[in-house]
Structure 1
Amino acid sequence: MHISWNPPSISPLPPGIITLDDHERHAEHMLGAAAHAYFAGTAADGLTHAANRQGWRSLTLRPRVLQSLTGGHTRTLLQCATLHAPLLLAPVAHQQLAHPDGELASACAAAAMGVGMVVSTLSSIPIEPLAACLHDSGGLPPWFQLYAQPHRDDTLALIHRAEQAGCAALVLTVDAPVQGVRDAERRTGFVLPPQKQPPHLADLPNRPWPASHAEAGLCQGVTAHAPTWADVEWLQKQTSLPLWLKGVTHPQDACRAQDLGIHGLIVSNHGGRTLDTMPSTSRLLPQVRAAVGADFPLLVDGGIRRGTDVFKALALGANAVLIGRPQVFALANAGARGVAHMLRTLRDELEACMALCGCATVDAIGPEHLE
């Protein structure tokens, strides 16, 4: 059965926006105080968020010269699919808070640019029209980011929904059993409007939370239902889709996931939104790569704002990168056109960096290109 979807509106790109940082500055005026606090806010003092940005900036490049660049391109093979560039849109929740077209605009931009998209459990728009949009636009099938639910039947319902929509992978978020302490949201009094409740959860039965054996426990008992390695093993038995874990940063956890047969990992500190004072992902990525070996699929996110950052992430061992906050800033500024501009900017900058470092393809990028 074909799912219908309405094409997103076409908005002009505001003048003066050239870089991803330009998008961020302009979006602050477009979003309003509460929505900006939600999307741009960080955990506690924002030290991890700042470290992510500074980590990529502090790495220096070692270009090679007089290399053949004939036939160069940025195509990247990931999970048997070819990306036009080593980029994926990260799962960012509640995107209709930034633009009326929400995730539909992001999906159209991903299709136009030939990159991947990971759809959040907390998406403003259901997975079915998003998958249809990507299919009809010639894009890659989406991946579905999964938050494990307190009731396993509800988690299964989300999995089956993703499978039936044609998703190509499941991405289980494992680093956020509770929300981070986000001061900016509290200062602005951010509350998700009742009409903006995520449809994937609204369509689930209205069940009470399972009783906890503890009287309260950490975070008023919420952590009693946090996912564990046993839940990961159970999840693997429920689906034939490739399963990725998002938020793995410790080498021992990476090795355990690899031993369980997890398809791949996303090295992520949640963009500094959950636990503050974690290391930057530019520091964490090489440690995880060393633990799992050269051939295990790894993605990374956090603080990537330039094509040189993408290049450095690949040099440190990532197969591709995910783009979070810049996605929603660009969306706020110009809908689908804004997100497409953001992605094209990163790809253009990556191409220039590759050429100047003597790398004709992404496979040629390695640690020898970093100081």
Structure 2
Amino acid sequence: MSASNHPDARPALAPRLRREAISVPALRLMARRALPRPVFDFSDGGAEDEQTLRRNEAAFGRYAFLPRPLDGAAVRDQSCRLFGMDLSMPVMIGPTGLAGLFWPGAEQLAVRAANNAGTAYCASHGSVCTLEDIAATGAPNRLMQVFIYRDRGFTRELAERAAAAGYKALVLTIDNQLHGKRDRDLRNGFTIPPRFGAADTLAMATKIPWLLRMRRELPTLTFGNYRREGQPSDIASLAARMHDMFDPAMTWADVDDLRRIWKGPLILKGVLHPAEAAEAVARGLDGVVVSNHGGRQLDHSVSSIEALPAVVEAVDSRIPVLLDGGIRRGTDVVKALALGASACFIARPYLWALAVGGEAGVAHVLELFRDEIDRAMGLLGVSALSQLSPNMLANVAPIGPIA
């Protein structure tokens, strides 16, 4: 066992923090206290009226469990195999840009935590470091997010770099071709790197730990994968250039071209319509992710969990169906798997965990999901993920929060 995988080498969340961090909702509140408001809202907010953001979470309440405890589940196994990766749990870390705003070296810390937990990490195109820096951690179960760019050569370049760096799969994200209008960011005057107004500066007295951690990082923050020799590499210049790089004119022909370039598993992320899922199967893709970009793109879209059953039916077990969006509990994961998903990505939960405790925070949030999934499986009478099915769920009217 390598030093990085040895249990004694894994950082632990401080006991004081661990006592409070009892759930993902608790971690969210802790992150809100720890982060400057513009940074927290960058992670927490969604597009426009945030209807889809709220719907993603609330829609899980439309499904209630029908346990069969006499089926017996003294021992529960969460392991699964996806895209050539053996995973110890059906939760992976999804791609999130600018994770380095939440903790120095965030991407490398998160991929190490995922590796130690026995699961996979998907690197964002907008990571602060390069995809090669993430690969240098030695964590084997890595996926890489890519887009269809106006410059198709850059799409090819990222795919080739991912192949050279040993990434197991490409995750082609298709729902970011136009940048969503995120009202919270506009109200906060959020910029990259963040600049703080007078009110924010006064409030920073309560954010001293974040300031001390980030004081050397903010001036040099960049998008590692977009840096080019001889061109400005500051993050503001790169962010302005990136906005013009995505191509809203992309078509299935571009997906076909990427399929020819990339020889490993190719996964389509941002699928909500069953016809698009069926087309992905027909064109030889290896998986789809039911996702609305966490409610950060097209507001008033259907929630991921609401879209999942029709996508599963269209795919008809021919390729794995994954899901992200609104997952805050292990029970959310179990519901998604019962409806036909093979695994789930988390995004906001791991960013909040990063803000609270760096690598130890990410390890802790994965532990929370593992424990909650295990408990749900045991109470349902399920010993293996393959035993989860739609007949374990009832359609119910969601209830509101307890007053």
Q: TM-score, normalised by structure 2?
A: 0.83
Give 1:239 shift.
1.6
Quote the Cα distance in structure 2 between the aligned partners of 1:25 and 1:16: 10
Given residue 261 of structure 2, which amino acid in structure 1 is its aligned partner? Q
Q: Is residue 269 of structure 1 aligned with residue 292 of structure 2? A: yes
Query: Matches of residues 1-371 of structure 1 in structure 2 within 5 Å?
Result: 12=14, 14=17, 15-133=19-137, 135=138, 139-193=139-193, 195-203=220-228, 225-371=248-394
- Give the match for residue 401 of structure 2: none
Given residue 366 of structure 1, which amino acid in structure 2 is its aligned partner? S
Q: Deviations over 1:36-81 (max 9, x none)?
A: 1211111011111111111112310000121132543111111222
Quote the Cα distance in structure 1 between the aligned partners of 2:183 and 2:389: 39
Contact (CA 8 Å) 1:37, 1:190: kept in 2 or not? Answer: no
Question: SS of 1:122's equivalent?
Answer: coil
Quote the Cα distance in structure 1 between the aligned partners of 2:27 and 2:101: 16
Quote the Cα distance in structure 2 between the aligned partners of 1:283 and 1:358: 25
Quote the Cα distance in structure 2 between the aligned partners of 1:322 and 1:312: 14
**Structure 1 residues 164, 350: CA separation in 2 closer, same or farther (over 3 Å shift)?**
same
Given residue 224 of structure 2, which amino acid in structure 1 is its aligned partner? P
Quote the Cα distance in structure 2 between the aligned partners of 1:276 and 1:152: 28
Mean Cα deviation higher: 183-192 or 196-205: 196-205
Quote the Cα distance in structure 1 between the aligned partners of 2:295 and 2:328: 15
Give 1:294 shift.
2.4
Given residue 338 of structure 2, which amino acid in structure 1 is its aligned partner? A
* Matched residues, number: 350
Taking only the aligned residue pairs, the percentage that are identical comes to 35
Give 1:224 shift.
5.6
Quote the Cα distance in structure 1 between the aligned partners of 2:279 and 2:175: 15
Quote the Cα distance in structure 1 between the aligned partners of 2:282 and 2:375: 38
Quote the Cα distance in structure 1 between the aligned partners of 2:191 and 2:11: 27
Quote the Cα distance in structure 2 between the aligned partners of 1:47 and 1:144: 29
Contact (CA 8 Å) 2:145, 2:171: kept in 1 or not? Answer: yes
Question: SS of 2:136's equivalent?
Answer: helix
Give 1:186 shift.
0.6
Quote the Cα distance in structure 2 between the aligned partners of 1:257 and 1:222: 24
Given residue 179 of structure 1, which amino acid in structure 2 is its aligned partner? H
Q: Deviations over 1:290-309 (max 9, x none)?
A: 11102421100011111111
**Structure 1 residues 205, 83: CA separation in 2 closer, same or farther (over 3 Å shift)?**
farther
Contact (CA 8 Å) 1:8, 1:101: kept in 2 or not? Answer: no
Q: Deviations over 1:239-283 (max 9, x none)?
A: 212111100110111111111001100000111000111111111
Give 1:206 shift.
5.2
Quote the Cα distance in structure 1 between the aligned partners of 2:311 and 2:95: 22
Quote the Cα distance in structure 2 between the aligned partners of 1:52 and 1:336: 27
Question: SS of 2:76's equivalent?
Answer: coil
Given residue 47 of structure 2, which amino acid in structure 1 is its aligned partner? A
Give 1:197 shift.
2.0
Quote the Cα distance in structure 1 between the aligned partners of 2:38 and 2:88: 35
Question: SS of 1:18's equivalent?
Answer: coil
Quote the Cα distance in structure 2 between the aligned partners of 1:94 and 1:22: 22
Give 1:33 shift.
1.4
Quote the Cα distance in structure 1 between the aligned partners of 2:173 and 2:230: 22
Quote the Cα distance in structure 2 between the aligned partners of 1:224 and 1:159: 17
Q: Which runs of 5+ in 1 are unaligned?
A: 1-6, 208-219
Quote the Cα distance in structure 2 between the aligned partners of 1:332 and 1:225: 33
Quote the Cα distance in structure 2 between the aligned partners of 1:8 and 1:130: 18
**Structure 1 residues 129, 152: CA separation in 2 closer, same or farther (over 3 Å shift)?**
same
**Structure 1 residues 359, 204: CA separation in 2 closer, same or farther (over 3 Å shift)?**
farther
Give 1:98 shift.
0.4
Contact (CA 8 Å) 2:45, 2:184: kept in 1 or not? Answer: yes
Q: TM-score, normalised by structure 1?
A: 0.89
Q: Which runs of 5+ in 2 are unaligned?
A: 1-8, 194-218, 233-242, 395-403
Contact (CA 8 Å) 2:73, 2:377: kept in 1 or not? Answer: no
**Structure 1 residues 159, 222: CA separation in 2 closer, same or farther (over 3 Å shift)?**
closer
Contact (CA 8 Å) 1:24, 1:329: kept in 2 or not? Answer: yes
Q: Deviations over 1:131-181 (max 9, x none)?
A: 231x3xxx4420000122221121111111111110000001001111111
Given residue 79 of structure 1, which amino acid in structure 2 is its aligned partner? F
Contact (CA 8 Å) 2:76, 2:383: kept in 1 or not? Answer: yes
Give 1:235 shift.
0.8
Give 1:108 shift.
1.2
